[in-house]
Structure 1
Amino acid sequence: MKILKYKKFTGLHIVCKKCNKLIEVSQEVYKGCRHPIDRQRYKAILKQNGVRKTRDLKALEYDNAVKELIGFKDELSNPIQFVTQIPKAETKPELLNDCIMMYSDWLENVDVPFFEQKVRSKEYIRDTVGYVCKLKTYLENIGYKTDKTTIYQVDKNIVNKYFEELYIKSKSIATYNHNIRALKGFYKFLIATKGYDLINPLQYAKLKNEAPNPINVADNDFYKIINCLTEENSIQIYKNGVRKNRYRPYIKEAFELIAYTGMRITEAISIKYSDIILTQSGEIDYIIGVDYKYEKAHNHDKSKPKKIVPIPYSPELADLLKRLDYKNHLGEDRYLIGADENISRESMAKQLSHSFGFYRNKAGITSPIGLKHLRKSFLTKIETQTGLVESLGYQKTKSVIQNNYLVKPEIARAVRGKGFRLFEPDANK
């Protein structure tokens, strides 16, 4: 793998802008990064008064990058000079490749004014830029030399043909919609933020309906999957020969916790023993959950109290907590699931999601259910049995729950079970 020239210099690194990995350590493929040299940038990473300061450098030559790094260091050590610097005139690159790089930098808040900055996860930036790069790959496949193609040449007709092809080939509705949103955002950035004289070819593009009829995990299917969770016959073999062990010692309890709390996968496996609330008599009252999706969207600067979701008691949840020996760990800042595992909660969530699909197939279940559908099962049962699903705060509005989570056939069965009828019997008969 070819990389930018690198010699060890304090604070100087090389980062891949495609996957956000530092890659200067080795000339070989590093940590799975296989992206070409044109996705690489020199990056300054310094510490100033205990605070990490970073900047993507413009230079593509080692000596110039070192000079730029030293200049950045001088700016940090002289805050007055740093503030009063005369801003450089902003240029508008025309090449498609340069526009994509500029968009990637903007997503990372590089040279973005403080009051315009927005917190975005590395995964979001990686995926968004990746979707934009798919358009670039399409252009290359139909004969364009993208290193010479300008953004003005990628007109509405080309983009329309790209999405016509994607519409047919895309097996996942969500993936298709992600492509639409990413390209919309890319053109909106160029037009509204950077002032390019372009027409947004996706201005009126419509998304596919992702969930017209939500599905859930049937009780029998859930028990079948739980009973399949054994270490034996748990190796998944991919078409390319890669083998992965889908079993983990904590997997059964993890699936159950997700099912019995109704939280999203990462939210459920982030619950700790300190989140268990007891009644005055010492019995389980409820569990404190945190709505991470809301936090990322509306409280990324941690300026507000966390949005708490009180997870209600159920016999299944109480039994699970007993098996997890909650009484001997009450109040501990320790995860209920995989507390001793050296893995992030996000990575564990992906691992569990893949494992659920594997064990679903192993159990012979043909329904296209995933781990996320356990949340739909939970919220549907809360609604049919108590009618309090909105009040618990699992979603921001009831319309979101109604349209995306409640499984309508289950609602119909619950109505029937309650003895619903339209009219009283005719007394005259």
Structure 2
Amino acid sequence: MQDFENQKKNTNDENVQYLDFQQPSGSSENEIGVQQKGDPPLRAAGVRVMMVTGDHPATSRAVAQEVGIATNQKCHVVTGNELRNMTPDLLHWTLDKHYEIVFARTSPTQKLQIVEACQRQGGVVAVTGDGVNDAPALRRADIGISMGITGSQVSKQTADIILMDDNFATIVTGIEEGRKIFDNLKKSVCYILISNVPEIAPVLMFILFAVPLPLGVMTILCVDLGTDMWPAVALAYEGAESDVMARTLRGRDTLVSARMLRLVYGHLGLIEFAAGMFAYFIVMAEHGFYPLQLFGIRQRWDNEAVSDLTDSLGQEWTFTERKEVQRASQAAYFVAVVLTQMMNGIICKTRYNSLFHVGMRNKVLNMGLVFEIILSCVICYVPGVNTFFRTYPLRLRWWFLALPFCAFMFVFDEFRKYCIRRELFGGWYNRLTFY
């Protein structure tokens, strides 16, 4: 960039302007970016950069090649006179045909014309400038970026963003940071949504199949407002993944996409629900109520007048004794959800990379996982607290009932990310599960 600044001082026009434009890929919702010399990931990310200046065409081409905007001799130079004689259709054809373009000897009006032409093609345009003549283009662009040191007051007041260091590469850092934030928001939303399945499904089981309620209201609040809060926030502290600047345009990808919902409600959420029901049925079976007998037993189970309910072994249970067993089974279900949610927090650390590559370097998330265990123990074992939340002091072996499901979640998600990285199965698996 220093070499470029030295050349810039020797040009005929004190203002050299960059217009950043991304070619649309079937969508109008794209990201801005900058192409730097020797930085192929930016091109892979769908970033396109054009230079708009008032300098001589030969000087403009040389400067563009020096800073990496033009990487070969195929760079197309359009002068202001040529642009003046172009129809809108011809200008659009030029933008489509030539990826690397330098506009030289342009006037402020023509800069505005170029911005509008790019926007009509469906792209999101960012313009950088520092002079008074750049103000119309900065205002018309989707994102106007002014220089904080050398920029005029007019350009600063017109722009949306001011580069305090006047370093063009700072925009690249901003793009990476923005993509990282969007990724981490997706991870947090996915983590929170997954726990909805094991919370809603027991209520449906209770209504449709008339089984004793597997998970109480108070324990649902414990999950939503207690154990899930810290890890969900901690995912915002995750670093950028290795592919963050090598992806194609985001397009119409939203924060909560159909792919995420398929993964949440069709895969991981069902595994958590299975883990909870497995723990619930095991605790019930250890007390004599086998799974098949529980279906359709709800009315007699919740009837205080029934004091001789017979289990699968022929034992009779009073209402108070049955409720004690139900508290134990609900506590086992709650612990199973907590443990699988801990694994869910671990696998949600990445959307693309393997956990073995990223590691467990997020200390905030690690503390959140420890907090989940401690809070679960307090809810289950502290007298008075377990009475308030209607839980039960669990036997040690009941804590291990969800571990096979945790292992399955980890293996499943690692395999899913491996298929995404390798683009196996013709890429359809990516389109199905990469949220």
With the shorter chain as reference, the TM-score category is: under 0.3
- State TM-score, norm by structure 2: 0.19
Normalized per residue, the structure richer in helix is 2
The structure with more radius of gyration: 2
Q: Which has the higher contact order (CA 8 A, sep 6+)?
A: 2
